[in-house]
Structure 1
Amino acid sequence: MSAKPNIAINGAGPVGALLALMLAKRGYAIDLFESRPDSRQTNIYQGKSINLALSDRGWKALNAVGIDQEIRDNAIPMYRRVMHDLAGNLTTQPYGQEGQAIWSVSRSGINEQLITLAEQQDKVRVHFSHRLTQYNFDNNTALYLNDANQQINHQTDIMFGADGAFSKVRRLMQELPKQRISYSLQYMPTSYIELSIPAGENGEHQLDKNALHIWPRKDFMLIALSNPDGSFTCTLFMDLEGPLSFSSLQDKSQVSDFFHQYFADAMGLLENPVEQFMAKAAAPLCLVHIYPWVVNDAVALIGDAAHAMVPFYGQGMNCGFEDCRVLAELVDQYEDNWPEILAAYQLERKENGDAIIELAKRNFTEMSDKAGDANFLLRKKIEAEFQRRHPELWVPLYSMVTFSPDIPYKTALSVGDIQNDIMDQIMAMPNIHECWQDDGVYRHLFALANQRLS
């Protein structure tokens, strides 16, 4: 029996760390490289990391290596959205069925947990402050610069680029003269800054901790996710340029007026929002499409390096974790035949990556504009009731994406488009706001769904 190939992973974020853990448990020697210093010793995340929402796809991947409970101990379930209107009135919308939740996790916290768990594997070596500068695709040799500006050569058999939306591995792949690589990086008009709500005087949460709070304002929004220490991590999403944008708010007076006009009920909670706004540069959001993901049967992209998306479906990390789980299952299926593994991985994940990128882009409108709209909220109530009556026929799009890890993203996208057409017809029924609970509405919905979805 031939020896297992050595594997290098460039990027020790959550996806790279989980991939290292999964492959090490299958007997592979892993070198995990990270350009930044160890965040457990140096705070590299301050002001640069939005909280993440961990949902069932992510949990399934964590469960596959038996670490889900360790992660869950530092996560907070969010069972519902709470929308804050301009007057401070609250509207609540459950995320799914009874007991279903997405989970608020700190990006730095889960990253550090996963790195620690990976380091506990005998076959994992982690190299911090190693910046990839070159890669020889003919002999799979990487050239790194460490924090002492020393050059380090590392030869491997398989290389994974898990190094995020601005992946160095991906850029080096694109420079290969004989590779036909299609690529796009699209910056969104929307950017973001991170703000915070501190814990109360006794360490308590000052808002409902088991909800994701949204202040939807059509073209921009503020969200808040809870942390175990009683604080909330808040993110302001807004266009970088335009009449009302990060660029248009230039002085403290303008920023103060902006917050008091649009987020009045949050002003007593936010920690120095005006000063924080003035001190921080808005971070970009972008979409990445690339094909192929695999070069020479030996170098592959995973996570954001392959399919960076906007965060409005909360699926970026979940999708990356699913990449890891699917890859690990293919390792088992193809019994360590890496050309077959990587070909199957690319075939399986590329179209699903494209699908969730599209869904995430669409969901900004839902969160920032529709979330507080009466028609939208009624639409969701009707869908939930219909699912209760006919669970075998109708799973709402959000539930397919978030709570149904066995439904591929591409299926959720195509089925969701059909459901949207059907619900447009239902919402167009006369007096739907008054009669939505009538059995006739659900008989009509059943007929439409049975015709198009069965």
Structure 2
Amino acid sequence: MTDKKVCVAVVGAGLVGSLEACFLAQRGMEVHVYDVRADIRQMEHVPGRSINLAMSVRALSALSQIGLADHVKNEYGIPMYARMIHNLDGATFPIPYGKGEQCIYSVGRRYVNEILLDKGDTYSNITYHFNHKLLKADLDKPQLIFVRTDSDNEEKVIVNPDLVIGCDGAYSAVRREMMRKPRFNYSQEYIPHAYMELSVPPTPDGDFAMPRNYLHIWPRGQFMMIALPNQDRSFTLTLFMPTDTFSSLTDTESVLQFFNENFQDSIPLIGQENLVKSYLENPALPLVSIKCFPYNIGSTAVIMGDAAHAMVPFYGQGMNCGMEDCLVMNDCLNQNPELGVALDEYSKFRNPDAEAMCDLALYNYVEMRDLVNKKSFLLRKKFDNFLHWMFPNKWVPLYTSVTFSRMRYHECILNKDWQDSTITRIFSVGGLTGLLAVYLASKHFTGTAQLLQDVGLNLLHRIQRLQAIWF
């Protein structure tokens, strides 16, 4: 593959499309980015979803390839070191995400998108085409037909690139064209819950109204609310609950009664008048999970990000997964000289991980809204963290592997399954002796006698020191 001769049309100038354009430009390709919207850098308000983003290792690893990771971590993102759980009675307690200084970063979607567009402007081989709506695509040629939405006479624009990359979101027009092909598998699931955005303004003296370095969670079984800090010292609140519940709250009285019963401590933070106004004026928006395969059509078209694997937002991995797509694609292009072979490999390699992450995102909703209040869940967290401290390279908790590593998503699930079965064996053996089984299991039961000699006393001493903390 001679990269410099390849002309690429990227459909969608969102986070993944803008990032992928930079990756391709670094390879010397000619890149044209088309987006139905105007340039968001020139817009006062950007339409569409705006759930705050929790950026972690996978997205930061991708941003580091174009020199933006340090800026996001050190100059813009707000580190969140733990979940801050808000109980029904107003009491709070933290659940750390990882060890020591491990954290995720609260970032604004619009800001990250804008710095990616600005980065793209630094490449002479990237050209942006805003206000271009995709009308029709022949992905075999390939050929794209756009209409200029800023043109009074609906001017049509026909382009004939070598490669089309669809990064145009969960309702992707490029994926819709792929669905016309035989043997294209597609499924979508709308969960019975929706979301609504509210906000907590800064205090009168301009400070954060809650501790800033946390992702705040109000878990309430069938519904929950979360809050992420913003650079202007406000918090973006997102309320998740069944659509039927949203539909039942239609006036000031019912809204206030609901919040007094379930999120009473949030009312003075939001402000009663602001709460009622925002709730009654903002729509409750749906949440969809999408899986499909394959992601490419030969050497002429491929989809990435939400166009390939839209997921519900409960693991904070939608953006991270989409940006990691760019790293995986880059690796496939490096390893395969033929473009068609590279795209085939990308599709086959990435699909099981993307589908695994879609499943994990659904699982984490149950954890966030319900399990975080259960003693069994908290004990398991402590147990996992303890074993991770003891055996950092062998026992990696699920959340740690997903958020603080680039372990393949489907391998994170396999690792969790192994841990669950191991813990079952530990407690069937009973007591502290069972912890030795973890170490032996992590070594695949090899060298048992020597391991017992080398590790036994040290392990026992550490366990005894932590017993007082645990219980």
State the partner residue of 1:340. Answer: 341
Q: Report the Cα offset of residue 391 of structure 1.
A: 1.5
State the partner residue of 2:240. Answer: 237
Residues 132-211 of structure 1 mapped to structure 2, 5 A cutoff:
132-147=134-149, 148=151, 149-176=154-181, 179-211=182-214
Alpha-carbon separation, structure 2, partners of 1:138 and 1:21: 25
Q: Report the Cα offset of residue 109 of structure 1.
A: 1.0
Alpha-carbon separation, structure 2, partners of 1:221 and 1:141: 45
Q: Report the Cα offset of residue 441 of structure 1.
A: 5.5
Q: Report the Cα offset of residue 451 of structure 1.
A: 5.7
Alpha-carbon separation, structure 1, partners of 2:444 and 2:367: 27
- Asked whether the equivalents of residues 293 and 347 of structure 2 are also in contact (C-alpha less than 8 Å), the reply is no
Residues 303-342 of structure 1 mapped to structure 2, 5 A cutoff:
303-335=305-337, 337-342=338-343
State the partner residue of 2:278. Answer: 276
Aligned mate of 1:225, from 228, 235, 240? 228
> How far does the alpha carbon of each residue in 1:61-93 deviate from its partner, in whole angstroms, 9 at most, with x for none?
111222212222211110100000000111211
Q: CA 1:453–1:374 in structure 2 vs 1: closer, same or farther (change >3 Å)?
A: farther
Give the root-mean-square deviation of aligned CA atoms. Answer: 2.0
Q: Report the Cα offset of residue 186 of structure 1.
A: 0.9
State the partner residue of 1:247. Answer: 247
Counterpart check, 1:410 vs 2:410: yes
State the partner residue of 2:16. Answer: 15
The one-letter code sitting in structure 1 at the alignment partner of 2:71 is E
> How far does the alpha carbon of each residue in 1:351-403 deviate from its partner, in whole angstroms, 9 at most, with x for none?
11111111111110110001122221111011111111112320001001000
Alpha-carbon separation, structure 2, partners of 1:428 and 1:380: 19
State the partner residue of 1:125. Answer: 127
Q: CA 1:441–1:88 in structure 2 vs 1: closer, same or farther (change >3 Å)?
A: farther
Counterpart check, 1:113 vs 2:138: no
> How far does the alpha carbon of each residue in 1:403-427 deviate from its partner, in whole angstroms, 9 at most, with x for none?
011x111100111122233345667
Query: Secondary structure of 2:248's match?
Result: coil
Query: Secondary structure of 1:194's match?
Result: strand
Alpha-carbon separation, structure 1, partners of 2:423 and 2:194: 32
> How far does the alpha carbon of each residue in 1:151-207 deviate from its partner, in whole angstroms, 9 at most, with x for none?
11111110011011110100111124xx32111111111110111111122321111
The one-letter code sitting in structure 2 at the alignment partner of 1:172 is E
Tell me the number of residue pairs that the alignment of Structure 1 and Structure 2 aligns.
Answer: 440
Alpha-carbon separation, structure 1, partners of 2:257 and 2:429: 42
Query: Secondary structure of 2:209's match?
Result: coil
State the partner residue of 1:265. Answer: 265
- Asked whether the equivalents of residues 141 and 300 of structure 2 are also in contact (C-alpha less than 8 Å), the reply is no
Q: Report the Cα offset of residue 138 of structure 1.
A: 3.6
- Asked whether the equivalents of residues 294 and 348 of structure 2 are also in contact (C-alpha less than 8 Å), the reply is no
Alpha-carbon separation, structure 1, partners of 2:380 and 2:310: 30
State the partner residue of 1:435. Answer: none
The one-letter code sitting in structure 2 at the alignment partner of 1:150 is E
Q: CA 1:267–1:391 in structure 2 vs 1: closer, same or farther (change >3 Å)?
A: same
Query: Secondary structure of 2:202's match?
Result: coil
Alpha-carbon separation, structure 2, partners of 1:235 and 1:56: 23
- Asked whether the equivalents of residues 418 and 452 of structure 1 are also in contact (C-alpha less than 8 Å), the reply is no
Counterpart check, 1:421 vs 2:388: no
Q: Report the Cα offset of residue 448 of structure 1.
A: 5.8
Query: Secondary structure of 1:267's match?
Result: helix
Q: Comparing 418-427 with 345-354, which one deviates more in the overlay?
A: 418-427
State the partner residue of 2:78. Answer: 76
Q: Comparing 150-159 with 441-450, which one deviates more in the overlay?
A: 441-450
Alpha-carbon separation, structure 2, partners of 1:424 and 1:213: 32
- Asked whether the equivalents of residues 289 and 311 of structure 2 are also in contact (C-alpha less than 8 Å), the reply is yes
Alpha-carbon separation, structure 2, partners of 1:367 and 1:136: 43
> How far does the alpha carbon of each residue in 1:200-222 deviate from its partner, in whole angstroms, 9 at most, with x for none?
22321111111100000011100
The one-letter code sitting in structure 2 at the alignment partner of 1:60 is S
State the partner residue of 2:367. Answer: 366
State the partner residue of 1:287. Answer: 289
Alpha-carbon separation, structure 1, partners of 2:132 and 2:321: 26
Alpha-carbon separation, structure 2, partners of 1:422 and 1:218: 28
Alpha-carbon separation, structure 2, partners of 1:145 and 1:92: 51
- Asked whether the equivalents of residues 190 and 238 of structure 1 are also in contact (C-alpha less than 8 Å), the reply is yes
The two structures have a TM-score, normalised by structure 2, of 0.89
Alpha-carbon separation, structure 1, partners of 2:191 and 2:320: 21
Residues 72-111 of structure 1 mapped to structure 2, 5 A cutoff:
72=73, 73-111=75-113
Q: CA 1:282–1:428 in structure 2 vs 1: closer, same or farther (change >3 Å)?
A: farther
Alpha-carbon separation, structure 2, partners of 1:55 and 1:349: 19
Query: Secondary structure of 1:195's match?
Result: strand
State the partner residue of 1:434. Answer: none
Q: Comparing 140-149 with 46-55, which one deviates more in the overlay?
A: 46-55
Q: Comparing 338-347 with 41-50, which one deviates more in the overlay?
A: 41-50
Alpha-carbon separation, structure 1, partners of 2:445 and 2:292: 33
Counting aligned pairs with the same residue, the percent is 38
Alpha-carbon separation, structure 2, partners of 1:83 and 1:441: 31
Question: Which segments of 5 or more consecutive residues in structure 1 lack a partner in the other structure?
Answer: 431-437
- Asked whether the equivalents of residues 91 and 372 of structure 1 are also in contact (C-alpha less than 8 Å), the reply is no
The two structures have a TM-score, normalised by structure 1, of 0.92
> How far does the alpha carbon of each residue in 1:259-312 deviate from its partner, in whole angstroms, 9 at most, with x for none?
111111111111512211111111111111111111132110100100111111
Q: Comparing 440-449 with 82-91, which one deviates more in the overlay?
A: 440-449
Alpha-carbon separation, structure 2, partners of 1:44 and 1:21: 25
Q: Report the Cα offset of residue 333 of structure 1.
A: 2.2
Larger Cα Rg: Structure 1 or Structure 2?
2
